[in-house]
């Protein structure tokens, strides 16, 4: 690494501190990334001001071969780009060699989900809690059981679920009309379990011990609550869901409303549902969003083979 290269990095970092108010930790991270790039250039008998796009591509390739993740490589490239943008603006170099370089694509994280057995345990725990409670606590437990059943039966977004108007019950009780993103409407079917849970929630009657009659609540919302919006919030539902997850013997950190939506889609595809049908049920505008669930199934199949196939132990 030449003294000139080190001077250019120092000037760049001074600019970040003075003009952008970069914190010391940020400056240290930039320095580490840029000095790593300069070490590569030195090994290639090149210097910062003479490097080409080919040199930078070679550096990225070396990072990939060293096993760095796409996210880490993208961060290194971002630092190099900003440095060269600075050097171009300061007229240290004429053309920016990093200008047209495409960054590495980040691997799309697979959605977290639950197994069918785990969802069954969650639902059974919610149902059991409702059967043992009385009064207002019973109503709260019935509401939670109903929310879980509806979410797993329909795959609704949590915001769509908690903000359902009571008018959604008008008409055929076997389907719900959901208004999702972009105010697009879609029909989602209700299975028998969801309809039973909904009926218990709407007409709670008496607790199993014959006490604690709770009259049905009549409001604009299907799931009313004392909140600014007038209905249960996403946050409140998520907290209650984690409580019942713990009661079911599941790790609460693995359970959320969105995870149940993922489970709905994954379990449908696992049982042969058409991808286009799942797209419609989820309310995805683009099928590429739904295709992520096929990757979940692929990973599950790979794990099944690696864990149980006799030849996999020789890998």
pLDDT at position 272: 84
- Torsions phi, psi of 57, nearest 5? -60, -40
Which of the following is catalytic: 32, 181, 276, 295? Answer: 181
pLDDT at position 140: 93
Using CA atoms, how far apart are residues 222 and 213, in angstroms rounded to an integer? 19
pLDDT at position 248: 96
Which of the following is catalytic: 157, 200, 231, 267? Answer: 157
Angstrom CA distances, 223 to 7, 185, 255, 257, stand at: 63, 20, 21, 15
Residue 8 annotated to the active site: no
Using CA atoms, how far apart are residues 72 and 74, in angstroms rounded to an integer? 5
Using CA atoms, how far apart are residues 99 and 38, in angstroms rounded to an integer? 18
Residue 220 annotated to the active site: no
**Residue at token pair 């059991």:** 128
pLDDT at position 106: 59
Of 5, 59, 11, give the one whose Cα is nearest residue 35.
5
Using CA atoms, how far apart are residues 278 and 284, in angstroms rounded to an integer? 9
Per-residue pLDDT in tens (0 to 9) along the chain, 315 residues: 688 888 999 999 999 999 888 889 999 999 999 999 999 999 999 999 999 999 999 999 999 899 888 888 888 999 999 999 999 999 999 989 988 887 666 556 667 889 999 999 999 999 999 888 888 899 999 999 999 999 999 999 999 999 999 999 888 889 999 988 877 889 999 999 999 999 999 987 654 454 555 455 567 999 999 888 899 999 999 999 999 999 999 999 999 999 999 999 989 988 888 888 889 899 888 887 887 777 655 655 555 555 555 655 554
Using CA atoms, how far apart are residues 165 and 229, in angstroms rounded to an integer? 12
Using alpha carbons only, give the angle 64, 74, 39 rounded to the nearest 5 degrees: 65
Of 161, 155, 174, give the one whose Cα is nearest residue 280.
155
What domains does the chain contain, in order, with CATH numbers? 3-89 (1.10.150), 116-255 (1.10.443.10)
Which of the following is catalytic: 6, 75, 284, 300? Answer: 284
Which of the following is catalytic: 31, 75, 140, 258? Answer: 258
Using alpha carbons only, give the angle 254, 256, 261 rounded to the nearest 5 degrees: 110
Which of the following is catalytic: 129, 261, 262, 267? Answer: 261
Of 243, 282, 264, 252, give the one whose Cα is nearest residue 152.
264
Residue 309 annotated to the active site: no
Residue 261 annotated to the active site: yes
Lookup: tokens for 185: 């409407």
Angstrom CA distances, 44 to 6, 73, 156, stand at: 17, 19, 55
Q: What is the pTM of this model?
A: 0.61
Residue 258 annotated to the active site: yes
């Amino acid at each position: 690494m030449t003294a000139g290269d080190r001077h250019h990095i120092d000037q760049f970092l001074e600019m970040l501190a003075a003009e952008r108010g970069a914190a010391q930790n940020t400056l240290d991270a930039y320095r580490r990334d840029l000095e790593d790039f300069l070490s590569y250039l030195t090994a290639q008998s090149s210097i910062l001001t003479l490097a080409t796009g080919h040199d930078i591509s070679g550096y990225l390739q070396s990072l990939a071969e060293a096993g760095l993740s796409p996210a880490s490589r993208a961060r290194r490239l971002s630092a190099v780009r900003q440095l060269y943008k600075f050097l171009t603006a300061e007229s240290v170099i004429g053309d920016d060699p990093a200008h047209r370089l495409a960054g590495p694509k980040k691997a799309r994280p697979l959605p977290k989900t639950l197994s069918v057995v785990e969802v069954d345990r969650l639902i059974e725990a919610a149902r059991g809690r409702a059967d043992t409670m009385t009064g207002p606590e019973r109503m709260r437990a019935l509401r939670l059981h109903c929310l879980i059943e509806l979410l797993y039966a329909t795959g609704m977004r949590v915001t769509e679920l908690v903000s359902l108007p009571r008018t959604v019950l008008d008409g055929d009780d076997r389907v719900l009309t959901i208004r999702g993103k972009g105010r697009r409407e879609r029909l989602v079917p209700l299975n028998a379990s969801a309809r039973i849970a909904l009926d218990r929630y709407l007409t709670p009657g008496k607790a199993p011990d014959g006490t604690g009659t709770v009259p049905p609540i009549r409001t604009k919302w299907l799931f009313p609550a004392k909140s600014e919006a007038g209905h249960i919030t996403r946050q409140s539902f998520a907290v209650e869901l984690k409580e019942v997850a713990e009661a079911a013997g599941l790790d609460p950190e693995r359970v959320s409303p969105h995870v149940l939506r993922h489970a709905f889609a994954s379990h449908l595809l696992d049982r042969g549902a058409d991808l286009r049908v799942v797209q419609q049920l989820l309310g995805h505008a683009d099928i590429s969003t739904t295709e992520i669930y096929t990757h979940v199934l692929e990973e599950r199949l790979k794990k099944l083979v690696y864990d149980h196939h006799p030849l996999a132990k020789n890998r």
